Structure 1
Amino acid sequence: MDSLPNGDSAAAAAATAASITPQSRLTHLADSLKLENQFLRVPFEHFKKSLRTNHRIAEKEIYAVIGNVIDATNSEDMSRKDADDRLNSLVSKLQGLKRKLEEGSRTENLQLQRCRARLNHLEAAQTENVYEWNNTREKRFLVDYMLRMSYYDTAAMLAESSHLQDLVDIDVFQEAKKVIDALQNKEVAPALAWCAENKSKLKKSKSKFEFQLRLQEFIELVRSDNNLQAITYAQKYLAPWGATHMKELQRVMATLAFKSNTECAAYKVLFEPKQWDDIVEQFKQEFCRLYGMTVEPLLNIYLQAGLSALKTPFCYEEDCTKEDPLSQESFQKLAKPLPFSKQHHSKLVCYITKELMDTENPPLVLPNGYVYSTKALEEMARKNKGKVTCPRTGLICNYSELVKAFIS
């Protein structure tokens, strides 16, 4: 085949590079977005929830109206005034149903708008403004972190100033905030209402959250010495859980005898304030699971992944190069509980010359185990009559004692 002229070759090479680079970028973005399943799933789950709620409301109201119409039709001795009253009542109910359906429709359209906005955001990754796209993504992580840490006002301000309202889940977390605030005030009613609203999904995931709420409510009755009321409550709300949670039930029922001032550790712990904190944490986990969110904030996940990739034993040595981010104390503290990175392909840089060690400048191992480049050690041996000195430990040895290391 005849070769292309030089100009055509350059153009072809440029076209090939242009076609490969965006594709590799998209592959990288696709890999990183696997951690962001919640980005699309949260508004979709919220949309499905709105559909179910609106369907239940419409079904209930329509059946009520049909029932009233049937009753009116079967009534033979109804006066004109009663008929007018019934018709006015039906009209009022239908108008109320219309308002509820319109409100539900607005909620559904809002969720659809958010799904569309997030799809458009993902498609924007194919364009050239990758810096701007990543900047938006970082702000999303910050808003997500603030919402999980209960900084709702700050999160809302950042989302508004950055025009990210459709790309973050402030309204979803506001829904959770109502339950969390109530639990922190030792009120279980909003949490139980949330359980009833999401009963089918919680049952499918075999959640114990509602059971824990019922146990805590029983404990509070025992704490206030309402034993008879506690027994009635247990018969109504705890007995149905007996088939699957008998041990927990037996333990909590024993508090009727031990009382709230017991010194028995097994039962004293049930009356401690931290039980409410545990319930709050359990709710947060159930809430995240329901919407397909990660339990850990995305900011934490990415930060831990980055620190773990950089972390090596050398980072904690005194002579660690300042170019290493983990040479800073603040980063070292964050990375302390994380595992060291597993480097399959590493680059070795000479401690003395700061040059790359490769096949042209292979590493040499001193008897003390430290490694330096051939170029640096040859220069040192030439100046010191065949002797080399380890700059870290001060060990002096002959150049002939060095062992060549091979990079795999």
Structure 2
Amino acid sequence: MDIDPPPNGNTTTTTTVDPSPPPPSNLPQLSESLKLEHQFLRVPFEQFKKTIRSNHRALEKDISAVISTVNVVAASDLSPDDAVNHLNSLISRLQGLKRKLEEGNRAENIQAQRCRARIDHLESADAENMSEWNNTRLNRILVDYMLRMSYYGTAVELAECSKIQDLVDIDIFQEAKKVIDALQNKDVSPALAWCAENKSRLKKSKSKLEFHLRLQEFIELVRAENNLEAVKHARTYLAQWGATHMKELQRVFATVAFKRDTEYAIYKVLFEAKQWDFLVDEFRQEFCKLYGMTLEPLLNIYLQAGLSALKTPNCYEDDCPKEDPLSQEPFRKLATPLPYSKQNHSKLVCYITKEIMDTENPPQVLPNGYVYSTKALEEMAKKNNGRIICPRTDFVCNYTEVIKAYIS
């Protein structure tokens, strides 16, 4: 509100109104996006928490060691030279701790920046740039699919070309790739290290991955006919599982007697190469659960959801319109195991008014075969002295020539 004195000395009040309307809110679009973007936000957040926990554990370990050393030195009767040496050792250790804290702080900042970038991306969804936003989402979904299918090089190139490095999880999948490659080469060491690093989280989810890795180690020792080492391994790593997995342990321990060339199927299967494939699949499942990822690639989920929404019994009829994606055989095969759309009843919508045609506003058929609502044709007849003009073919007729259609 501006108050300006006029030339004659009287005071008048003038109100300045901003004619531009307030910017439209993108809250509805954001809310809809958040329903589908749980993994998109959860993954970097879980990685952020993991980095913080790792830095905290390292800090506690070093601080505890330094304090312990100080207490020992303080309680000892050391010569001046020995005291100086101990102090120099402590200073070196504290300097190393400082470097670790700086590195940890940089890692945390990177993770926080990634979380911020993803939140900003979701908040940028509005009507003006929805096409561009959806293109970015499509690229994210494709990168996710490529990473899960082990096409790492292509995924990196697409992310770089699209400039969406902060919106995809390449580094996390690279971490998983090292474990998967090792398992495919019959090496459980990286997988066991990963289990140790995430021990508390895996314990909460009651994961059996570490147990199965230890069992495979036992089987490999038996395969090599190193039974003594196999027994030592069982006492060291498998005894702790006896209370909860005794049946599995008994079955595996029996391989010491039946050997690798046994013909008994129950033991023979334990020596087959596919056991390593089972471990790879189990690791992938635990990896996805740890970071809150979906077990299926996002591309599969979106594609299945879309096909299921379109799938109706009419899609498999010979007269299915060509505009329907399910009229094509490849899409029909993909949709075969999917459920039908829950919309059991069709709706007739008037081409002119876009209103639903029902018993209150029944459809009427023109002589040329096109159907419109009673409301639309009555309004058109009033404006044109009882004449009807088909908006799609320009066919002209009298209102008395239309025929009412009945919905059963």
> Runs of 5+ in structure 1 lacking a partner?
1-14, 350-355, 364-372, 379-403
Q: Which structure 2 residues correspond to residues 16-31 of structure 1 after superposition, within 5 A?
A: 26-27=27-28, 30-31=31-32
Q: CA deviation at 1:139?
A: 0.8
Tell me if 1:55 matches 2:52.
no
Q: CA deviation at 1:170?
A: 1.0
- The equivalent of 2:225 in structure 1 is 225
Q: Which structure 2 residues correspond to residues 123-134 of structure 1 after superposition, within 5 A?
A: 123-126=123-126, 128-134=128-134
Q: CA deviation at 1:127?
A: 5.3
Change (3 A) 1:106 1:180: same
- The equivalent of 1:304 in structure 2 is 304
How far apart in 2 are the matches of 1:249 and 1:375? 80
- Corresponding residue SS for 2:338: coil
- Corresponding residue SS for 2:37: helix
Change (3 A) 1:119 1:28: closer
- The equivalent of 1:243 in structure 2 is 243
Q: Which structure 2 residues correspond to residues 181-200 of structure 1 after superposition, within 5 A?
A: 181-200=181-200
Q: CA deviation at 1:229?
A: 0.8
* Identical residues among aligned pairs (%): 69
Work out whether residues 143 and 155 of structure 1, in 8 Å CA contact, stay in contact via their aligned partners in 2. yes
Instruction: Quote the RMSD (CA, aligned, Å).
Output: 2.8
- Corresponding residue SS for 2:341: coil
Change (3 A) 1:118 1:286: same
Q: CA deviation at 1:324?
A: 0.9
How far apart in 2 are the matches of 1:201 and 1:269? 31
- Corresponding residue SS for 1:190: helix
Work out whether residues 227 and 256 of structure 1, in 8 Å CA contact, stay in contact via their aligned partners in 2. yes
Q: Which structure 2 residues correspond to residues 6-405 of structure 1 after superposition, within 5 A?
A: 26-27=27-28, 30-78=31-79, 80=81, 82-126=82-126, 128-347=128-347, 358-359=357-358
Change (3 A) 1:127 1:111: farther
Amino acid at match of 1:249: L
How far apart in 2 are the matches of 1:405 and 1:264? 70
Q: CA deviation at 1:49?
A: 0.7
Amino acid at match of 1:114: R
Work out whether residues 361 and 375 of structure 1, in 8 Å CA contact, stay in contact via their aligned partners in 2. no
How far apart in 2 are the matches of 1:342 and 1:238? 50
- Corresponding residue SS for 2:128: coil
- Corresponding residue SS for 1:296: coil
How far apart in 2 are the matches of 1:338 and 1:203? 35
Number of aligned pairs? 351
Amino acid at match of 2:301: I
How far apart in 2 are the matches of 1:376 and 1:220? 78
- Corresponding residue SS for 2:125: helix
How far apart in 1 are the matches of 2:369 and 2:71? 101
- Corresponding residue SS for 2:163: coil
How far apart in 1 are the matches of 2:28 and 2:333? 33
- Corresponding residue SS for 2:124: helix
How far apart in 1 are the matches of 2:34 and 2:273? 40
Amino acid at match of 2:73: A
How far apart in 1 are the matches of 2:265 and 2:103? 52
Q: CA deviation at 1:105?
A: 0.5
- The equivalent of 2:12 in structure 1 is none
How far apart in 2 are the matches of 1:294 and 1:75? 57
- Corresponding residue SS for 1:111: helix
How far apart in 1 are the matches of 2:407 and 2:273? 60
Q: CA deviation at 1:206?
A: 0.9
Work out whether residues 33 and 122 of structure 2, in 8 Å CA contact, stay in contact via their aligned partners in 1. no
TM value normalised by structure 1: 0.79
Q: CA deviation at 1:39?
A: 0.9
Deviations along 1:233-256, one digit per CA (max 9) or x if unpaired, are 111111111111111111111111
Deviations along 1:299-333, one digit per CA (max 9) or x if unpaired, are 11011000111112222233322111111222122
How far apart in 2 are the matches of 1:211 and 1:68? 37
- Corresponding residue SS for 1:182: helix
Q: CA deviation at 1:338?
A: 1.3
